[in-house]
Amino acid sequence: MSPHSRGTAQPEADMLPSQQPVRLIDENGSAAVGRTFKTSYALPTEQTLLRGYGQLVMGRRVNDQASALVRQGRMAVYPSSHGQEACQVAAAMCLADHDWLFPTYRDTVAVMARGVDPVQVMELLRGSWHGGYDPYEHNVATQSTPLATQLLHAVGVAHAAKLRGEDTVVVALCGDGASSEGDFHEALNFAAVFHVPVIFFVQNNEYAISVPLIHQSVAPSLAHKAIGYGMPGERVDGNDLAALLAVLDDAVRRARSGGGPSLIEAHTYRMQSHTNADDASRYRSDDEVRAWEPRDPLLRLRTYLSTAGLLTAAEEERIGAEAERVAAVLRDGLNVEVTVDPQDLFRFVYSEPTPQLLEQSDMLREELSREGATS
Amino acid sequence: MTTISASPTAADPSVQTPPAAAPAAAPATGLPAGPAAAKPQSLTFAKALNLAMSDAMEADDAVVVFGEDVGLLGGVFRITDGLTKRFGEERCFDTPLAESGIVGMAVGMAMNKMKPVVEMQFDAFAYPAFEQVVSHVAKMANRTKGKVRLPMVIRIPYAGGIGGVEHHCDSSEAYYVHTPGLTVLAPSTAADAYTMLRDAIACPDPVVFLEPKKLYFAKEEVDVDALRLRYADGTGAEATAVTSIGKAVIVREGSDATLIAYGPSVPTALAAAETAAEEGRSLQVIDVRSLVPFDDETVCAAVRRTGRAVVIAEAPGFASVAAEIVARVQERCFHSLASPVRRVTGFDIPYPAPKLEQQYLPGVDRILDVVDELQWEDK
Ligand SMILES: Cc1ncc(C[n+]2csc(CCOP(=O)(O)OP(=O)(O)O)c2C)c(N)n1
Ligand SMILES: [Mg+2]
Nearby residues of A333 by Cβ (< 8 Å), 6 or more positions away: A118, A119, A122
Q: Is B41 helix (H, G, I), strand (E, B) or coil?
A: strand
With helix as H, strand as E and coil as C, how does A216-256 read? HCCCCCCCCHHHHHCCCEEEEECCCHHHHHHHHHHHHHHHH
Residue A330, judged by CB atoms within 10 A of its CB (0-12, 13-18, 19+), counts as buried
User: How far A61 CA lies from chain B's nearest CA (Å)?
Assistant: 27
- pLDDT recorded at residue A174: 98
CB neighbourhood size of A211 (10 A): 14
pLDDT tens over chain A, length 375 residues? 345 677 777 888 889 999 999 999 999 999 998 788 888 899 999 999 999 999 999 999 999 999 999 999 999 999 999 999 999 999 999 999 999 999 999 999 999 999 999 999 998 888 887 778 999 999 999 999 999 999 999 999 999 999 999 999 999 999 999 999 999 999 999 999 999 999 999 999 999 999 999 999 999 999 999 999 999 999 999 999 999 999 999 999 999 999 999 999 999 999 999 999 999 999 999 999 999 999 999 999 999 999 999 999 999 999 999 999 999 999 999 999 888 899 999 999 999 999 999 999 999 999 999 988 876
The C-alpha atoms of residue A181 and residue A117 are separated, in whole angstroms, by 31
Say yes or no to pLDDT of B272 above 50: yes
The answer to whether B278 faces chain A, any CB pair under 8 Å, is no
Residue at A4 is within a domain:
no
Ligand 1 pocket residue status of A175, Cβ below 6 Å: yes
Instruction: Reply yes or no on whether the pLDDT at B217 is more than 50.
Output: yes
CATH code at B249-378: 3.40.50.920
The rounded mean pLDDT for chain B is 90
Residue A88: name the closest of A208, A212, A188, A171 by CA.
Answer: A171
Binning pLDDT at 50, 70 and 90, where does residue B239 land? low
**In terms of domains, do A278 and A369 share one?**
no
What is the tally of helices (H) and strands (E) in chain A?
A: 15, 7
CA torsion, ordered A328, A334, A336, A338, to nearest 10 deg: 150
Distance, in Å, from the CA atom of B270 to the CA atom of B274, rounded to the nearest integer, reads: 6
Do A359 and A258 lie in one domain? The reply is no
User: How many other C-beta atoms are found inside a 10 Å radius of the C-beta of residue B159?
Assistant: 29
The domain tally of chain A equals: 2
Q: Which domain holds residue A229?
A: 12-335
Q: How far apart are CA B334 and CA B347, in angstroms?
A: 27
Q: Position A269: which residue type?
A: Y
* Helix or strand holding residue B270 (H, E): helix B265-278
pLDDT, position B236: 63
Does residue A2 lie within any of the structural domains? Answer: no
C-alpha closest to that of B169 among B138, B206, B214: B214
pLDDT number for residue B238: 66
Distance set, CA B54 to CA B45, B187, B200 (Å): 14, 18, 14
Residue B130 CB partners (closer than 8 Å, separation 6+): B175
**Sheet with B309-316, edge to edge strand ranges:** B249-252, B283-287, B257-261, B309-316, B342-346
Best of B60, B68, B111 to substitute, by most chain A Cβ atoms within 10 angstroms, is: B111
Q: Which of B171, B203, B161, B168 is nearest to B52 (CA)?
A: B203
CA distance B169 to B146: 35
Is the C-beta atom of A153 inside 6 A of ligand 1? no
Least confident among A147-161, B12-26, B308-322:
B12-26
Q: Checking phi first, is residue A7 left (phi over 0); if not, alpha (psi -120 to 50) or beta?
A: left
The pLDDT value given to residue A4: 67
Give pLDDT tens digits for B112-156.
Answer: 999 999 999 999 999 999 999 999 999 999 999 999 999 999 999
Whether A54 and A89 map to the same domain: the answer is yes
Annotated catalytic residue within B167, B168, B178, B335 = B168
Report the CATH number that the domain containing residue A331 is assigned in CATH: 3.40.50.970
The answer to whether the B41-239 and B249-378 domains have the same CATH topology is yes
Q: Is position A270 annotated as part of the catalytic site?
A: yes
Going by C-alpha positions, the residue among A147, A143, A264, A271 that lies closest to residue A206 is: A271
Residue B18's pLDDT is what? 41
Assembly ipTM: 0.96
The greatest distance separating any two alpha carbons of chain A, rounded to the nearest whole angstrom, comes to 76
Q: Which fold has domain B41-239?
A: Rossmann fold (3.40.50)
Q: Does residue A259 sit in the same domain as residue A361?
A: no
Q: pTM of whole model > 0.90?
A: yes
Would you say residue A192 lies in a domain?
Answer: yes
Indicate the residue type of A277: A
Shared-domain flag, residues A330 and A352? no
In angstroms, the CA A131 to CA A348 distance is: 13
Judge whether A197 and A99 are in contact, CB under 8 Å.
no
**In a shared domain, residues A227 and A316:** yes
Look at strands A262-267 and A233-237 and give their pairing. parallel
In a domain, A297, yes or no: yes
pLDDT at B22 over 50: no
| B286 burial type by CB count under 10 A (0-12 exposed, 13-18 middle, 19+ buried) | buried
Claim to verify: residue A293 and residue A366 sit in the same structural domain = no
Higher pLDDT, B346 or A131: B346
Quick one: which of B183, B205, B199, B190 has its CA closest to B241? Answer: B199
pLDDT of residue A7: 73
Minimal Cα–Cα distance from A194 to chain B, Å?
9
Gap between the Cα atoms of B267 and B371, Å rounded = 17
Q: Note the pLDDT tens digit of each residue in B161-205.
A: 999 988 999 999 999 999 999 999 999 999 999 999 999 999 999
Q: Which residue has the higher pLDDT, A38 or B217?
A: B217
- The atom of ligand 1 lying closest to the CA of A149 is 1
CB A221 within 8 A of CB A17: yes
Instruction: Specify burial of residue A214 (Cβ count, 10 A radius: 0-12, 13-18, 19+).
Output: exposed
Stretch (H or E) spanning B371:
helix B364-372
* Residue A208 beta carbon below 6 angstroms from any ligand 1 atom: yes
The pLDDT of residue B16 is 40
Backbone angles phi, psi at B263, to 5 degrees: 55, -130
Alpha helices in chain A (DSSP H): 46-71, 85-93, 108-113, 118-121, 135-138, 149-163, 182-193, 213-216, 225-229, 241-256, 286-292, 297-307, 313-335, 344-347, 355-374
> How far is Cα of residue B155 from the mean position of the Cα atoms in its chain?
9
In a domain, A73, yes or no: yes
Give yes or no: A274 in active site: yes
Nearest CA to ligand 1 atom 21: A175
Q: Is A3 inside any structural domain?
A: no
Residue count (chain A): 375
If asked whether residues A245 and A310 sit together in one domain, one would say yes
- The reply to whether A323 and A360 lie within a common domain is no
| Pocket lining: A233 vs ligand 1, CB cutoff 6 Å | no
Alpha carbons A170 and A200: distance in angstroms, whole number: 9
Q: What are the residue boundaries of the structural domains of chain B, listed by start?
A: 41-239, 249-378
Distances in Å between the Cα of A261 and the Cα atoms of A197, A304, B88 are 5, 32, 23
> Is A232 part of any domain?
yes
Burial of A47 per CB tally in 10 Å (0-12, 13-18, 19+): exposed
Would you state the pLDDT for residue B150?
Answer: 98
Same domain, A195 and A267: yes
Burial of B352-373, coded b for 16+ CB within 10 Å and e otherwise, reads bebeebbebbbbbebbbebbee
For residue A207, indicate whether it is catalytic.
Answer: no
* Residue of B101, B204, B294 lying closest to A152 (CB–CB): B101
The reported pLDDT for the residue numbered B30 is 39
User: For the packed helices A149-163 and A182-193, what is the interaxial angle rounded to 10 degrees?
Assistant: 10
Ligand 1 close to Cβ of residue A77 (< 6 A) = no
* pLDDT attached to residue A13: 83
CA-nearest residue for atom 17, ligand 1, is A175
Query: Does A349 lie in the same domain as A233?
Result: no
State yes or no: pLDDT of B28 exceeds 70: no
Asked whether the beta carbons of residue B292 and residue A354 sit closer than 8 angstroms, the reply is: yes
Largest CA distance in chain B: 64
The residue type at B375: Q
Q: Residue A111: its pLDDT value, please?
A: 98
Pocket test for ligand 1, best of A209, A216, A271 (most atoms within 8 A of CB): A209
Q: Is the pLDDT of residue B342 over 60?
A: yes
> A224 with A370, same domain?
no
Q: Is residue A39 within 8 Å of A24, Cβ to Cβ?
A: no
Instruction: State the average pLDDT over residues B30-55.
Output: 79
Does the pLDDT of residue B96 top 60, yes or no? yes
- The pLDDT value given to residue A339: 83
